[in-house]
Amino acid sequence: MPQILQTALPELAAILILLLVLSASMSTLSSLVLVSSSSITIDLLKGYVRPHMGKKEELGVMRSLCLIFIALSAILALLKPAIILTLMALSWGTVAGVFLGPYLWGLFWPGTTKMGAWAGAVTGLLTGLGFAWYHSFEPTFVTIGGALAMLLSVAVVPAVSLFTESFSQEHLQKVFVRRTEQI
């Protein structure tokens, strides 16, 4: 991408694209930091450790956690920038592997069963993580593992669904009602 931006695009277009990528990255980081700090503070600390924590203390802890997460992100980016791409490929490939098969088959094929969907999800998870771990989180293999996780998930759902208990006809009628019948 950097070569394409330098050679094929005018300088102004390259600057605009880089600014868009930077703004998307900053937006994602801010969302992740806010969600992480509030989850830890409200769900864990207030939920289990200090149930009677006041609003001021909550806010202070959340702000402190935001600073810590941003500092950790900066340190990680400065020390090992390649790890960010590897983690991103691992997370997106594994998440897609977990959800793609059950989602696609569940959306379009009434023969999808609960066990088929679970088998596809678990297969996608184990394939994505296992492939990456087996190959020591090498970026190329992480990407291949994510693609393999998606393919296997899509293949496992119907294979398991053919041999496991299907949903009742009433349930399938309710879920797969045609749009024209609703109007």
Q: Tens digits of per-residue pLDDT, 44-65?
A: 999 899 989 999 999 999 999 9
56 shares its domain with 133: no
- pLDDT of res. 178: 61
Length of the chain in terms of residues written: 183
Contact 90, 146 (CB under 8 A): yes
59 shares its domain with 119: no
- pLDDT category at 181 given cuts 50, 70, 90 is low
74 shares its domain with 101: no
Q: Is the pLDDT of residue 1 over 80?
A: no
Q: Is the pLDDT of residue 90 over 80?
A: yes
In terms of DSSP H, where are the helices of the chain? 2-7, 11-38, 55-79, 81-108, 114-134, 139-161, 169-175, 179-182
How far is it, in rounded angstroms, from Cα 59 to Cα 64? 9
161 shares its domain with 91: yes
93 shares its domain with 61: no
Could you say which of 61, 79, 97 is where a domain stops?
A: 79
Residue ranges making up the domain that contains 74: 2-79
Residue 181 in any domain: the answer is no
- pLDDT of res. 78: 87
More confident call, 61 vs 87: 61
Contact 97, 149 (CB under 8 A): yes
112 shares its domain with 130: yes
Degrees, nearest 5: CA angle 85-78-32: 60
Contact 115, 167 (CB under 8 A): no
